[in-house]
Amino acid sequence: MNIAQRDKITRRPASQEAPLSRGAFQVVGTVTIWIWVGFNALLLIWVAVASLKDSTAIFSQSKAFSLPSAPQWANYANAWVDSSIGRAFFNTLGVVVIASVVVVAISAPAAYALSRFSTRAASPMTSLFAIGMGIPLQATVIPIFVGFQGVGLVNSLTGLTLVYIAAQTPFTVFLLTGFFRSLPFELEEAAAIDGASVLRSFREIMLPLAKPGLITALTLNIVFLWNETALVLYLVQDDTKFTLGRSLLNLATVATYTSNWGAMFAGCVIVVAPVLLTYILLGRRITEGMTLGAAK
Amino acid sequence: MSTITISGVTRRYPGAKTAAVDNLDLDIADGEFLVLVGPSGCGKTTSLRMLAGLEGIDDGTIHIGDRDVTRLAPSKRDVAMVFQNYVLYPHLTVAENIGFHLMIRKTPKAEIQRLVKDAAALLDITEHLDRRPAKLSGGQRQRVAMGRAIVRQPQVFLMDEPLSNLDAKLRAQTRVQISTLQRRLGVTAVYVTHDQVEAMTMGDRVAVMDGGVLQQCDTPRALYERPANVFVAGFIGSPQMNLIGAKVDGNGASNGTLTVPLSAAQRSNLSSGEVTLGLRPGSLTVTDHGPVRAEVEVVEETGADAYVYCTADLGDGPTHLVVRCPSRAFPAKGERIGLAVTDPDIHVFDGVTGRRVEH
Amino acid sequence: MSAVAAGTRTAEKGVTPASTVATRPRPGGGGSLSAKRNRLFWPFVLPALAFYAVLMLAPTVATAWISLQRWRAQGDPMEFVGLQNYLTLYNSDVFRTAFWHTLEILVVCGVAIFVIAFAMTMALREMKGRRAARSMLFFPYLISPVVIAIGLGLVLDPTGALNHALQGIGLTSLVKPWLSPDHIFMTLVVTIIWVSTGFYVLLLMAGVERIPRYYYEDSDLAGASAWQKFRHVTLPLTWDVVTVAAVLWVINAFKIFELIVAFSTLGDAPPLQSRTLAVEQYYMTVGGRIPAYAMGRGAAVGVLTLLLVAVSVVLMRRLMRRERVEF
């Protein structure tokens, strides 16, 4: 049995292995963590429950903690149609999917070239992209806004999509560069000996191998852009073009006047549900992707 | 007094069918260098770790001196361990690495410095004290790891395959260094390795393990000359001993044209009519009129000797044998040769139990 | 990076380090293959570079230029005013408050997050069900800040769950209007900590999990206490990950924006007590019921934010710098 195998087997709590005192810290820590986790779960459930309650019951003194007597699905219809969450949903879907696909499509070749070509420009270029991750949107949005005004891209989902692509490029290139670097070089050399062109070797050998990395990049982009509301706040004032976050914000603001809390929480559920689903299905990719850069 | 007494020690991993270590009994004398050897998964490392306290003990006891350490934490057992990967802290200098345990135990700085200097001098790494492990060669790192063990002046040294990460030449050199060091310091040492050459050359006694069970614990010579069972016979000695199945008949034990006489004592101690014969490569000679006919497959020349790997036609079918020949007189590849058994001392093992059967 | 370092070391010593760190081969390796490849470098990189340059780099430069103007966006002529905008900001109480708020969030939340995240990481190592716990801790980070604000609005409303619960267990004195201007900043700080910690736990756990077990075994043999193990094994061996996490936090801290906006009603700007640089810029330019369109001053805020990020990252890396270690 080699060390790795033995490591797996002997992974038992320290307290069983040899008399070590984990003591007070562990107890306090464990309790704190479970309370925290409980709070998170509870909040999620609460919002979901609130979405099915009658609006008057949500903040009322007596009914705040209780379950609804009859689930008010009307809240969802209300949110979807009357408050245009439905339209925002499709706006968001379109923008996010297109932007994510394009950003991965342009970042993959770039990352490939940066990680495996030996030109002099490779290293400074990599750094250039890396810096991009640190540029806050506050430093770019004003010229973009004005520029878009000039070409009619304000209040346009197309404009938003273009900005999203650019904004996510640095991170995606960074992520994929790290990923491509980890793939073996010998495959391409073998392909070259067999006479494959660079393009072909990229398409037929590298891309399939890189699939997990690409899916991770795609997932992370989708999740991040799904929630992106800042740029929408700057660039889109036409409410028919709102994305989900923006639309929900609107809904919440309006709700302070109309007290339509039920619909507001239904809107929350609509926004969160796809992310929750993605997290359940692709959670491992998300967590691995996020730690890939850090723990390289 | 740092004797070690291991009594009936057993370790079972949850969910495993067989025990990783099964009922181990070992008595190690003060100042002895005991080697635990065996193939991967035989339980030698687990045994070492149980001694260290890094692994729980399911059954049995361990005593160091007269102290029962079975339930004691590792740090209270007064043992020092050299890990296979050396475990050098990459962010600390060599000096800090050596003094690590002392620092943890809050030994005064001045004393740490003194002890570290002494250990470094002993291991000849004084010039590296201010460097980081990343800048050292494999052999130097190994010595730093030893330094950390020595500086604690423990009752027992435990070493888990400390040479396996070194290249062959360095390994041979370091073997000698470790043996010399241990003798000089006089500290009881338990050393784990999978390499039987290391075991034979370093140990005062060698404990051979397989499948969690101790096969034999004896001096190297005894292991070589009187292996207790088929496993030990096949494990100790390089190239491996020829192990040939044979049947008991009127003349002794036979397989085809190969016949070996059996004493009355041997005959009476057998549990069946089947035996395994053990013949070291040196126990066979190439002669034209040898009773066994064989064809040469490969010849390995080591400079001092030549080992002839051949296939013999015995009764049961082709049997592979290794024969040692003088370096200047050996048959060629493809040649048909005759073999004869020249050594009167042939190992006989019970065909069913595998145990050695004495004359 | 490490391939070069390893190569240099080997060359210096003339011996092969015995460790089993695989030396990555140099890409291409020279020869006709790499020449053919390198010709395709620019075509491969260009699309990404184009988007990046046009919609991120160029605007950054433009922002700097605009910050020196007085401007009300499209249709309005630009008026060069030099550093006037910066001076105006410097003299503005509102701006200065926002500035300090931003720094407070950076430091207070940052320290709190790291201490808590580290403590949690260490506690999680020995817990059953730690993957599930980790997933649940991390999840809020994936939720839209708007939803977070709304959800917490439910809990922290004067008639909401928190106050109910406090009253229920008799701590009526602790009942507060958590969302009122006087308390909103503290609420924000706590919210940020609550949402972000899970992400940093994720990062730190990845770093800690990479530490080979035998370092801890060796420190067990030494008799190290839990604190000693943390200080002498865990912390130094995860320092690289901690540094990366710290840089990520610095970058993210300045970006916090939607959360604050969503905590207040959209029409009017959030109360002064919760403003940060990002919020200021928004309401200076296109935000609010009646946008102010002070593009020049807004750009100045943008430039300052960028500078602050840059300085903070550089400072952070310098503070945390240490010779790279590999194990």
pLDDT number for residue B342: 84
Closest to C106 in 3D by CA, of C308, C321, C314: C308
CATH of the domain at C145: 1.10.3720.10
Residues 6+ apart with CB under 8 A from B122: B147, B150, B181
Query: What is the rounded average pLDDT of the residues A247-272?
Result: 87
- pTM here is 0.82
Please tell me which residue, A283 or C160, carries the higher pLDDT value: A283
Under the banding of pLDDT at 50, 70 and 90, the label for residue C326 is low
The DSSP string of A71-95 is: --THHHHIIIIIT-HHHHHHHHHHH
Under the banding of pLDDT at 50, 70 and 90, the label for residue B249 is confident
Under the banding of pLDDT at 50, 70 and 90, the label for residue A13 is very low
A194 min Cα distance to partner chain C (Å): 12
Query: What is the rounded average pLDDT of the residues C57-78?
Result: 87
Cis geometry, peptide bond prior to residue B14 (ω within 30 degrees of 0): no
Judge whether C148 lies within some domain.
yes
The pLDDT mean for chain B works out to 90
Contact (CB, 8 A) for C298 and C319: no
Under the banding of pLDDT at 50, 70 and 90, the label for residue C56 is very high
Neighbours of chain A (3+ CB pairs under 8 A): B, C
Q: Which residue of C has its CA nearest to A163?
A: C55
pLDDT above 90 (res A199): no
In this structure, is the dihedral angle defined by the CA atoms of residues B95, B97, B98 and B100, taken in order, positive or negative? positive
**Contact check, Cβ <8 Å, B89/C232:** yes
Please tell me which residue, C74 or A241, carries the higher pLDDT value: A241
pLDDT number for residue A64: 58
Q: Which residue of A has its CA nearest to B85?
A: A3
Range in B8-22, B116-130, C19-33 with the lowest mean pLDDT: C19-33
B104 min Cα distance to partner chain A (Å): 15
- Condensed to tens digits (0 to 9), the pLDDT of residues B303-351 reads 888 999 999 888 777 889 999 998 888 888 888 888 888 877 789 898 8
pLDDT above 50 (res B290): yes
pLDDT number for residue A20: 41
- What CA–CA distance (Å, rounded) separates C306 from C67? 12
- Condensed to tens digits (0 to 9), the pLDDT of residues C258-292 reads 999 888 765 567 888 888 999 999 988 888 778 88
pLDDT number for residue A46: 83
A254 touches chain C (CB under 8 A): no
3 state DSSP class of C67: coil
Judge whether C121 lies within some domain.
yes
Task: Give the count of domains, chain C.
Answer: 1
pLDDT number for residue C218: 93
Please give the ipTM for the structure prediction. 0.84
Under the banding of pLDDT at 50, 70 and 90, the label for residue A65 is low
C222 touches chain B (CB under 8 A): yes
Q: Which of B56, B72, B85 minimises the CB distance to A17?
A: B56
Under the banding of pLDDT at 50, 70 and 90, the label for residue A173 is very high
A17 touches chain B (CB under 8 A): yes
pLDDT number for residue A67: 72
The DSSP string of B215-276 is: EEEE-HHHHHHS-SBHHHHHHSSSSPPEEEEEEEETTEEEETTEEE---HHHHHH-SSSEEE
Pairing of strands C69-70, B347-350: unpaired
B117 min Cα distance to partner chain A (Å): 31
- What CA–CA distance (Å, rounded) separates C70 from A98? 37
Burial of A86 (0-12, 13-18, 19+ CB in 10 A): middle
Contact (CB, 8 A) for B35 and B177: no
User: At CB < 8 Å, which residues of chain B contact A?
Assistant: 13, 40-41, 45-46, 53-56, 71-74, 84-85
Judge whether C246 lies within some domain.
yes
Judge whether C277 lies within some domain.
yes
Query: What is the rounded average pLDDT of the residues C101-118?
Result: 95
What percent helix, strand, coil does chain C show, rounded to 5? Answer: 70, 0, 25
Taking residue B259's Cβ as centre, other Cβ atoms within 10 Å add up to 18
C94 min Cα distance to partner chain A (Å): 18
Element (H, E) at C318: helix C295-319
pLDDT number for residue C32: 67
C219 min Cα distance to partner chain B (Å): 7
Preferred mutation among C32, C114, C144, C159 to probe A, highest tally of A CBs within 10 A: C144
Residue C120's domain spans which residues? 86-319
pLDDT above 90 (res B206): yes
pLDDT number for residue B70: 92
Under the banding of pLDDT at 50, 70 and 90, the label for residue A295 is low
Q: Which of A29, A121, A134 minimises the CB distance to C120?
A: A29
Range in A6-10, A190-194, B191-195 with the lowest mean pLDDT: A6-10
pLDDT above 50 (res A93): yes
Contacts with B70 from chain A: Cβ below 8 Å? none
**Contact check, Cβ <8 Å, A248/C146:** yes
Pairing of strands B242-249, B213-218: unpaired
The pLDDT mean for chain C works out to 83
pLDDT above 90 (res A274): yes
CATH no. for A74-293: 1.10.3720.10
Judge whether C17 lies within some domain.
no
Element (H, E) at A45: helix A23-51
Judge whether C174 lies within some domain.
yes
